[in-house]
Amino acid sequence: MTPRLELDALAAGYGGSAVVRDLSLDVAAGQVVALLGANGAGKTTTLLTVSGLLQALAGDVRLDGRSILGRAPDRLARDGLCHVPDDRGLIPGLTVSEHLDLVRAGRAERAQVDEWFPALAPLGARRSGLLSGGEQQMLALALALVRHPRVLLIDEMTMGLAPIVAGSLIPVIRRIADEEGCAVLVVEQHADLVLTVADRAVLLVHGEVALSGTAEAVRRDHDAVVAGYLGSAAGGASAPDPSPGT
């Protein structure tokens, strides 16, 4: 079956210089794929390129088997691709309810938000700038959810959140894939956390794939590969042969 989202030998970057090279991955409907890597590895650049905010330098990105390179971000949004950026994309002066108005959430969608994120239910009149980090992330996810995305890109969902809050939000990713049949590509620095809900994962090191495979295989090899690269960056051992996993 054609994967819903495919990145094929993608190169992405700025001003003609690639910071991500030769990245291939695919995400089927109902699947969660985690894109892992340290600061500056190229994760955000990848998501910006998939959602049409940056021009690809080489390779292809396909939605349902069709290239979407050059398609405008607003058209991609209408085609069902939804991007939750790392700054969460909220407007601080607008309330929770006003954000839901913006995405034209009707009664059924608001009930769905209350069911998925009960903590938001009493906060309808609160400005998003006054929400906690976890509540802001819930709102960002809720705004994505009510649009019933076919592909969801989530950037650094747990950034700045207390571990307990991050741990309580991560299962939502699995639920979106399972219950909405959405293809989810999630960028995360906390590999241990996201690998508990991902089907597969890709580890980027300096913009290149260092490890890719099932969540279980990546969980097993992740630390050793990262340690190997850190060792080589410190001028010691050479990088390990990146295992493709299973």
For 56, counting Cβ atoms within 10 Å of its Cβ (0-12 exposed, 13-18 middle, 19+ buried), the class is buried
Which CB sits closer to ligand ATP, 44 or 128?
Answer: 44
Contact between 40 and ligand ATP per CB under 6 A? yes
Pairwise CA distance, residues 155 & 189, whole Å = 10
**SS3 per-residue string spanning 54-113:** CCCCEEEEEECCEECCCCCHHHHHHCCEEEECCCCCCCCCCEHHHHHHHCCCCHHHHHHH
Cβ atoms within 10 Å, residue 107: 7
> Binder to ligand ATP among 43, 190, 200, 222 (CB under 6 A)?
43
Please tell me whether residue 233 binds ligand ATP under the rule CB under 6 A.
no
Task: Mark the segment that binds ligand ATP (CB under 6 A) among 26-34, 35-43, 61-69, 105-113.
Answer: 35-43
Residue 19 sits in the site that holds ligand ATP (CB under 6 A): yes
| Bridge partners (DSSP) listed for residue 36 | 188, 203
d(CA 213, CA 55): 27
- 109-126 burial by CB neighbour count: b if 16+ within 10 A, else e? bbebbeebbeebeebeee
By CB under 6 A, is residue 210 in contact with ligand ATP? no
The nearest distance, CB 180 to ligand ATP, in angstroms, is 25
Residue 3 interacts with ligand ATP (CB under 6 A): yes or no: no
Among 9, 14, 102, 175, binds ligand ATP (CB under 6 A): 14
Residue 187 belongs to what H/E stretch? strand 183-188
Considering only 10, 41, 96, 211, the residue that binds ligand ATP (CB under 6 A) is 41
Stretch that binds ligand ATP, among 37-45, 105-113, 115-123, 126-134 (CB under 6 A): 37-45
Residue 229 in contact with ligand ATP, rule: CB under 6 A: no
Q: Does 42 bind ligand ATP (CB under 6 A)?
A: yes
Which residues are near ligand ATP by CB under 6 A? 14, 19, 37, 39-45
